[in-house]
Amino acid sequence: MNSTKFRRTAIAVAAAALLPLSLAACSDSGSDTKAAPTAAAGDEAKTDTNTPSNDATTGDQPFGPACAGVPKEGAGSFDGMAEDPVATAASNNPALSTLVTAVKKAGLVDTLNNAKDITVFAPTNDAFAKIPKADLDKVLADKDMLTKILTYHVVGQELTPKQLENGSFETLQKGMITTAGSGESYKVNDTANVVCGNVRTANAHVYIIDTVLMPK
């Protein structure tokens, strides 16, 4: 009996000694299992960092100080203008009302609205206000002259800001304009500043400028 009790006691002691080791092994195994998803989550986080973010698309957005004056909602907003052809879109922007009047007087509304993939350098009301009133009235009353001036502001292709960095383009008037700049600062013919650029309409890119361009 004593021998049997001794064996049982020895077995119990051995089992008690092995139990912590077994639990430790199970615990380590559990840690490994949890570590794998954590590493995977870290990999996913790195992958997300490399995916295009809003910063990657900012170059495709309107830019410039005058953009702040564009209505936030409605037909005259950036979203609203993107839905309409360029002459109609301009008519919904209060800052371009003089340009719209000139376009109507020249009979160019349908021409601009029906054109495909064009770029319009659109002078603001303040740009027209730089022209002495007597001279402006004379131009508005002369359809041929007005047509030449307005079509000089239109290029027969959609121009990205990158293309404006050092560009030379033929206009619908058949004259040439030059562009220069970078980032959010561009000039046209060294005289006009782009004050709100890369505005989209249904059929055109629009760069709003602070000076009326005059063909040579």
pLDDT digits (tens, 9 = 90+) for 105-126: 999 999 999 999 999 999 999 9
Query: Is the pLDDT score of 147 beyond 90?
Result: yes
Can you give the pLDDT at residue 192? 98
Query: Is the pLDDT score of 34 beyond 60?
Result: no
Q: Tell me, what amino acid is at 136?
A: L
Q: Is the pTM of this model over 0.85?
A: no
Q: What is the mean pLDDT of the chain?
A: 81
CA-closest candidate to residue 122, choices 205, 182, 215: 205
Can you give the pLDDT at residue 112? 98
Helices 143-151 and 133-141 meet at what angle, rounded to 10?
100
CA-closest candidate to residue 81, choices 198, 90, 194: 90
CA-closest candidate to residue 81, choices 72, 126, 150: 72
- Quick: pLDDT tens for 84-95: 999 999 999 999
Compute how many other C-beta atoms are within 10 angstroms of the C-beta atom of residue 5: 9
